[in-house]
Structure 1
Amino acid sequence: MSLAIVDAREWQNMFDLRTGAKVDAVGPRVEMMRAVLKKFPYPGDMDPGSNRWVSDIALDLIGTYHPRFVFLNYAQQYFSIRYSAMDEAEQKRTISDLFAEVERFVRLSGFTPLVVGRGGMTPLLDFIDLSKLDGLAIATHWSVMYAGLHGPSEADLRTLADHPHIRMVVERKEMLRLFEGSPDEALRLPEYLLVAKKGYAFKTVSSVMRRPTMIHEADDYIPLHTPLGAVNDITAIRSLIEDNLKDHRIALIFLEGVGTNDFLLPLAPCRNGKEWYCHEPGAGQYLTITSGRHRVFDYPSGYKSYSETVGEKEYPLSGYFTSLPSDTIGEAIPDRSIAVGNNSMFMHTVTGADLCVECFARNLSNQGALGVIHRQGK
């Protein structure tokens, strides 16, 4: 059973991660997690100290749990650039502060870094409103470039084909061809995948996030820095880590909202997709990296999560996830591992790490921090 501890500063509660039921548990890992959550309250998504919070918790757990693999996610700069009206100088200072924090963590931890920028940011030019279509259009909160379309009319397809801000209308069978999908995986896909042009974001009846000033890009190539060697595709990052864990303690560090033009370390460009498809910085990109293979069917753009939920949703603290993805690097390696990040929901779902700490925030609303204990026996 995976345990989840929610820390809201004034109180802590423990739950069964799968069912959401309150539980009581004791043990060294539980006490370790309770202590680190109490010691480091989450300052907020856009707070200047948010990235330092990530480093401080990771350093604390390194000192007490002694992991060999660390997964970090720094996201404060992404939220600030996305929702604040920054000029170019302010954006550069924000990115510079981020890299200074990464350097501080690497220096104090002694871990060998593998730093990945998840893709750059671009100004929002306009929304593509899909709410008036006959069919059902779905765009997830973290997707701007892609939307899924279910049950479209012929009029819908003509309208979309002629839309000046839509780059592609892709049939389901093309996604199945490109990623060798199975019949079961086909059931999770929309009938059509819509692809926006750069600077445009889809708006659907399910779009409830606050309006951004900047949006992320789905870059063909994303930057990677590490002394461990070069890889030319994000699917090769996992094997690079596994091949070097015997001789190095490794930190896989993700930087939200950072592309090749913003990356302040020596870099190698890394392919971020296949043929015409590029991964947005969401669950699919994370899982592609942590599993070493393209993962576009777990939670695809346009996924109707409610269609697979019968009765009470399992994993109620895990956002739209209805199960924990398998074959992640933290699950596979025999070494101890931790994951810490200020991009909520993802640390405990996509990494497979033994111990995970993340902000517990939704739509910039700070509800505290979440600690998850996936295993206590290592």
Structure 2
Amino acid sequence: MTDQTRPSPVGLHRVLEPTGDAITLPQAARRLDARPELWPDEVRVAVETLNLDAASYRQLAEKHTTDGRVDGAAVRAEVLDIVATRGKMQNPVTGSGGMLIGTVDEVGPESTLGLAVGDRVATLVSLSLTPLAITDGLARWDGLSEQVPATGHAILFGRSIAATLPDDLDPHLALMVMDVCGAPALVERVVGEYVAQGLAPTVAVLGGAGKSGSLSLAAARAAGAGRTIGVVPVERERSLLEQSGLADAVVLADARSPLGLAAAVESAGGPADVTVVCVDVPGCEQPAILATAQGGTIIFFSMATNFAAAALGAEGLAADVRMLVGNGYVPGHADTALRLLREAPAVRALFEGRLAAESARAAETAGAGA
């Protein structure tokens, strides 16, 4: 560890590289100390499942795809190498990580997180800043999904965030929801600002059939949006979202196509007053700007977003838009997302369908290896 005599609530005492005057916060650090011994304000969690964020997993899967087939063993090996090398799960290309669920197995005497030994929790801070050690070689993971069964431990700092898993939900379902809970909470806040001014905004969600996208559509409607538009890239997702009824209109468009996206949103009642970017591919910045009305708001939730491209693109297009970075944290965000899941059967059906598909794939893989 560093030569600090007291722990830092933001984890500086766990930073191994860089050190000295060049020391950074844990998210920007090259390497963290993931030893299990606790400082007084820390909490150690026995890991059950990691959930890689979508942008990170997509990058890893595409890197290890040959002839249209993902080499799951190579993906697994790279994740193990990242964790062993960096002391955390932070994709060196995307800079992002994900989150985890597990059981609290030790609480430091000065911890203020309100957790107790035995609590099953989901961490609501990124794996990109969470000290992490894996001890089972990820032997139960086929490398073909974002959810990663794992054994090991993680460390929460004094200023970390974690939520106790609800008793009425499958923990893997809760993990899926909590992984993206910042999105619907911020959408609810932004739409609420419009409603407070007597407006009923048109909200377009790029990637509306995904996890964060479907919750964002539900949040926009619940907060008083006048019209919701779901944008999806393929026919299968359009059919799925139309059947759910979460959006007033569903359009098929490539979110990377400036004119194509703008035309699709306009055909459905746009341009949008609020555009929410929930797709995990780069190149959506300027299309989102063109699809948004002057004076409107764009919320970027994708870790694939190039924020320089967004800022310079708005300038170059003379677009008077407010651009917000979805930082993953809004007070009460976990409760908001879980409430939407419970109150919107269509959202729950989408999440349970995704979870069932992942479980079936895992069972098929296990059967093939038997």
Taking structure 1 as the reference length, what is the TM-score of the superposition?
0.26
Taking structure 2 as the reference length, what is the TM-score of the superposition?
0.26
- Structure whose residues are more often helix by fraction: 2
